[in-house]
Structure 1
Amino acid sequence: MAAAPGGWRAAGGRRRRAGGEAAGAGAVLRRLREARDDLLSSGFWEASAGAVRAPLGSSAEPPAHCVCYGLGRFSVCPAARHQLAFLLLLLEELGVPPGRCALFDPAFSAQEADALRELGLRLLPENEEGKHDVEGSATLFYMVHCGKALYNNLLWRNWSAGALAKMVIIGNSFKGIEERLLSRILERDYSYIAKVLKGTEEVALPTHPRYLDTFNDTSIHWFPLQKLKELSPEVWEFMEEPMYQDCDDLEIIRKEDRTDRHSPAATES
């Protein structure tokens, strides 16, 4: 991706497909540039950038990679398009190359996958169910409006003080999850969210009348190593993989619930 004053362009050297797919991806990119302009002109991005810098002070390691889950159908959904534009501005702000940002949503169409590749972004080859190992690299996870199980799975996969300290999560407020769920449900179904709450720092994105639905209940979360070390040893002993057998409202698409990302349904322009 090349960032220019007028907006984003397709990554250089990338061959365009002939016919309708190329034209369709071009239309999506045009709408994406419009969404970027909206974020910048509204002042929302400028205010949000300050909140995002909070976990990236002198003591924090800047992210080297980014993973995005659950973006949705950004070719047809304005909210998803603004969320993607926000992510691209975020990568620029943090100096993360597009090639180090990987995305997955089983709902992505072929047209949307093409547009993401045009921007230089990567597509994850399979549904990880949120179980992405940071593997020692500081990683930003962008998970706006994702289901609770995705956050819980991500925490489980990286359940150590050293790994969690390398993560920043932009997504549904953990405080909000705690407030909305009965304690017994939170501890039974989403135990890793419950256990990490006392080791979490959280700053909410600013509210803006134009984006009340797009970024509502969205916070930046990070896990200072010192706070994690203050948790009781028992917190780290239980590391069983979440199964959600008793969960009635599981907000996650499992691996076995495969959706064809390259369905012919994506012919929007």
Structure 2
Amino acid sequence: MHGRFVWHELMTSDPAAAAAFYAQVVGWTVEDSGMPGLDYRIASAGKDMVAGIMDMPPHLAESGARPHWLGYIGVNDVDAAAARLTAEGGAVHRAPEDIPGVGRFAVVSDPQGAVYCLFHASTPGAPAQPMATGHVGWNELMCGDVEEAMTFYHRLYDWQKDTAMDMGPLGTYQIFAVGGVGLGGMMRKPPEMPGPHRWQYYFTIEGLDGAGERVTAGGGQLLGQPMEVPGGAWIIPCLDPQGASFSLVSMAR
């Protein structure tokens, strides 16, 4: 599982409302994790656990952080990966620590400031099939320098360049893969996009228009029009009711 995204987690101002929203939009079943002293909810697509939903940690809320999604990249050794990351110009924001019975993790950022987590599971599971309904179907990095980012992630996680597409003024859209499986893409962050360089995650659903209607009915926002992308998929960027950014992807409009 080294180099693959193995978990996604929402830090939000209202976990109960967020759980209801994503259950409606994506079709998840959301249940309490049972972790003592922590409101942590597990979202599942069928029998597969795919994401966590938790209250925003106080120190982040006090610093003005908005609700956001985090991706967890699997590594063989969290401590070694964190040390390598700092040597390559990244930063460790939360030192490696254990989650009893679950695994070991650290919160980090790449040299351009995009935050994510390192993770090694106590009992690794099998990766989801690409574009499986209810799973994260695409992981997209908005950054300042695509070549620099690609070099960094290749050195740490052996990500390989896949197809590259010319996006005109926005530069190149670089798809990356691990073991021949496409995991996501990288592109230059548009200057009008607010906030820092960041990762954006695409949730796979069946029928983009219907899911978009569920977004607005649930109090979220659509940030653009449905767009068809190479390969025949349709996408649309969104905000949930608490302000966390995410996208939807479907093979059918």
- In the superposition, the TM-score normalised over structure 2's length comes to 0.29
**Larger strand share, 1 or 2:** 2
More helix by share: 1
Q: Which has the larger radius of gyration?
A: 1
If the length of structure 1 is used for normalisation, what is the TM-score?
0.27
Which structure is higher in RCO with an 8 Å CA cutoff and minimum separation 6? 1
